[in-house]
Amino acid sequence: MAVPVNKKKRPLTGCHSLSDVIKFYFRGACRSDVAKKNFFEKIDEDKKLKARLNEVDFSKDIKFVTPKILAIFVECWGHPDECLCIENE
């Protein structure tokens, strides 16, 4: 089942919880733990993204994603509303 793309982008200002950012990009996951696992696997596979996130001290233990970190995800993966979802394997 396809998730319709929202023509109006959600504002990505301020800090967001890590779980919300995971849900932004992995909407198709059946459970939140599966989405989180896939999220970090995709980061590990993308060497450019991983290097950029290491520069800003991103880790699996953070609770909130700052605008600077979120901008890196948008640059590498696109705005969450422009993609249906990242493929879940």
pLDDT tens profile 51-71: 999 999 999 999 999 999 999
> Which structural domain, as residue segments, surrounds residue 56?
19-82
Is residue 39 a part of any domain in this protein? yes
Give the pLDDT confidence of 67-86 residue by residue, as tens digits.
999 999 989 988 886 655 55
Q: What is the secondary structure of 15-80 as a DSSP string?
A: -EEHHHHHHHH-TT-SSHHHHHHHHHHHHHH-HHHHHHHHHTT--TT-SEE-HHHHHHHHHHH--G
40 located within any domain: yes
Number of domains into which the chain is organized = 1
Tell me whether residue 75 is in a domain. yes
pTM: 0.76
